């Protein structure tokens, strides 16, 4: 079967990590990409669920900070938007 070349741009750190993983699995990047594409064709779509269920590190840090602030008795909280707006104006 004839083949063709493609060019993919990606972050160099991601590429290095992927190459390391695929090497441990006994394949190179080209083989891994071919497996992905063939499975996508079989499935008629991306062969895995794409979600935002798992927050990245920056989001996790923000969530932890928000929880810390929410539990800090020294931080003023507002349950009424009018009170919050009044406090912002003062």
Q: Is the pLDDT of residue 88 over 90?
A: yes
pTM metric for this prediction: 0.54
Q: What is the mean pLDDT of residues 46-61?
A: 87
Look at residue 52 and tell me whether its pLDDT is greater than 80: no
pLDDT category at 49 given cuts 50, 70, 90 is confident
> What sign has the CA pseudo-torsion 54, 56, 58, 64?
positive
Looking at every residue in the chain, the average pLDDT score rounds to: 93
């Amino acid at each position: 079967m004839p083949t063709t070349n493609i060019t993919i741009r990606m972050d160099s750190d991601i590429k290095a990590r992927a190459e390391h993983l695929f090497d441990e699995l006994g394949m190179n990047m080209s083989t891994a990409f071919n497996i992905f594409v063939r499975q996508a064709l079989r499935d008629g779509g991306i062969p895995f669920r794409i979600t935002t269920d798992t927050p990245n590190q920056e989001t996790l840090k923000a969530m932890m900070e928000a929880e810390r602030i929410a539990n800090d008795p020294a931080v003023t909280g507002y349950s009424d938007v009018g009170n919050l707006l009044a406090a912002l104006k003062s």
